[in-house]
Amino acid sequence: MTIVPYLVAESMEQEIEIALNKSELQNTSLLEGVQLESVMGLLETCLVRQLKQGEVLLYSGKENHYLYLLLSGQLDVHLKLELDPIAVLEPGEVVGELSVIDRQKTSAHVVAGEDSRVMQFDETTLWCLVEASHHVARNLLFVLSRRLRHGNKVILKSQKLQQEYQRYATIDALTGVFNRRWLDEMLTRQLKRFKSGGGLFSLLLIDVDSFKSYNDTHGHVAADRALHTIAVTLGSTTRPGDMIARYGGDEFVVLLPGIDVSSSRKMGQRLIQTIGTAEIQSLDGNPLPPVTISIGAAQMNPTDTPESFVAGADTALYRAKQGGGNLVNIREL
């Protein structure tokens, strides 16, 4: 949408007199404390532009050669036009100063949030004002400082959001432990570390015994509560450096850095005992039947890939199931 410059009268003197007044100018961030009489000749060269609500004053990624001083109304700053504004500018604030000073393309869209009036300063006029009044120079410095601080806040907020998105992308929503995506990446990293001399590394693949029957008998909600209880119990029973992930369905993986398969078997036996006696409660606090688990344990060896490492534990798990469940079995080296 094209924005047409708005001139309120034929002569510049009339324009300034009608469109502006001293209090309006002196209450702005750029001209606060400035003796207006000393710079009126420069101000009279500036246009006053009328913006309708929704009109775009600045487009992101475009060249800009003007600083705009908001006289009335509201300007919204958007990183993308379809998103909510990251900042709302009130009368007296300026916009466009960064692209004028560094001569880089604009980094955001600026849209009239309501019918607005802006005073337009071209580059030449702006720098003449800075040279003519140290108050203008000081005010412009303050404006830049506030803008940079706001930019830092936006960056920090964005980083926090990215961290949250990343967390949700790697955390299983039901159990609160890591998910399959995280596990696949971690196994690849650990394998590289192991092959470069990183020491011992073992894995437990855990499966809930007769889980389908538990789900059919007690319902999906009860089954979910059982999985959540298992995850919590795994977290409280394993060592601080051990890593827990939901492998899929009713299967979990525990990564055990620094221990061999014999020690991992002992860990598995402890988990079987602890989970077998863990109390499972429904959402309303009523007790649910306990569950048992079977475990396949494997120690990483030099020829392993992430897939063969898990497959070795899966073979051991299958033997544990064949043995009646509630057992831990190990992959032979």
Secondary structure (DSSP) of 307-326: HHHHHHHHHHHHHHHHTTSS
Q: Write phi, then psi, for 289 (nearest 5 degrees).
A: -60, 145
Largest Cα separation within the chain, whole Å, is: 98
* DSSP 8-state code for residue 125: H
Q: How far is CA 160 from the centre of its chain?
A: 5
**Residue 17: its pLDDT value, please?**
39
In this predicted model, what pLDDT tens digit does every residue of 323-332 receive, in sequence order? Answer: 999 999 999 7
**Residue 82: its pLDDT value, please?**
86
**Residue 291: its pLDDT value, please?**
97
- 41-58 mean pLDDT: 90
Q: How far is CA 243 from the centre of its chain?
A: 23
To 5 degrees, how large is the angle CA 100–CA 103–CA 107?
A: 80
The percent of residues in the chain predicted with pLDDT above 70, rounded, is 86
Distances 230 to 96, 276, 279, 308 between C-alpha atoms, Å: 56, 9, 10, 26
In this predicted model, what pLDDT tens digit does every residue of 65-105 receive, in sequence order? Answer: 999 999 999 999 998 888 888 889 999 889 888 888 888 88
- In the numeric block, which tokens belong to residue 203? 């894995």
- 170-190 mean pLDDT: 89
CATH 2.60.120.10 in the chain is located at 12-164
User: Dihedral angle at the C-alpha atoms of 39, 41, 42, 48, nearest 10 degrees?
Assistant: 110
Secondary structure of residue 17 in the 3-state scheme: helix
CB 34 within 8 A of CB 133: yes
- In the numeric block, which tokens belong to residue 40? 């009126």
Whole-number Å distance between alpha carbons of 51 and 73: 9
Confidence class for position 16, pLDDT limits 50, 70, 90: very low
Task: Give domain 180-330's CATH superfamily.
Answer: Reverse transcriptase/Diguanylate cyclase domain (3.30.70.270)
Provide the angle, in degrees to the nearest 10, between the axes of the packed helices 123-132 and 134-170: 120
- 314-320 mean pLDDT: 96
In this predicted model, what pLDDT tens digit does every residue of 112-123 receive, in sequence order? Answer: 999 999 999 998
Question: CA Rg, the chain, in Å?
Answer: 33
Q: Could you confirm whether domain 12-164 is CATH 2.60.120.10? A: yes
**Residue 158: its pLDDT value, please?**
52
- Cβ atoms within 10 Å, residue 122: 15
Query: Is residue 14's pLDDT more than 50?
Result: no
CATH 3.30.70.270 in the chain is located at 180-330
Confidence class for position 13, pLDDT limits 50, 70, 90: very low
Q: Identify any residues that bridge with 321 across adjacent strands, giving them in sequence order.
A: none
Q: Write phi, then psi, for 70 (nearest 5 degrees).
A: -80, 120
In this predicted model, what pLDDT tens digit does every residue of 152-166 receive, in sequence order? Answer: 444 445 555 555 555
User: Dihedral angle at the C-alpha atoms of 25, 28, 29, 34, nearest 10 degrees?
Assistant: 30
Q: Identify any residues that bridge with 49 across adjacent strands, giving them in sequence order.
A: 118
In this predicted model, what pLDDT tens digit does every residue of 233-289 receive, in sequence order? Answer: 999 999 999 999 999 999 999 999 999 989 999 999 999 999 999 999 988 889 999
Whole-number Å distance between alpha carbons of 48 and 70: 10
**CA end-to-end span of the chain:** 71
Confidence class for position 20, pLDDT limits 50, 70, 90: low
Nearest to 28 by CA among 89, 93, 88: 93
What sections of 176-305 are H helices per DSSP?
180-195, 211-218, 220-237, 261-276
Secondary structure of residue 279 in the 3-state scheme: coil
Question: Which has more pLDDT, 244 or 181?
Answer: 244
Query: Is residue 147's pLDDT more than 70?
Result: no
Average pLDDT for the chain = 85
Burial class (CB in 10 A: 0-12, 13-18, 19+), 224: middle
Whole-number Å distance between alpha carbons of 219 and 226: 11
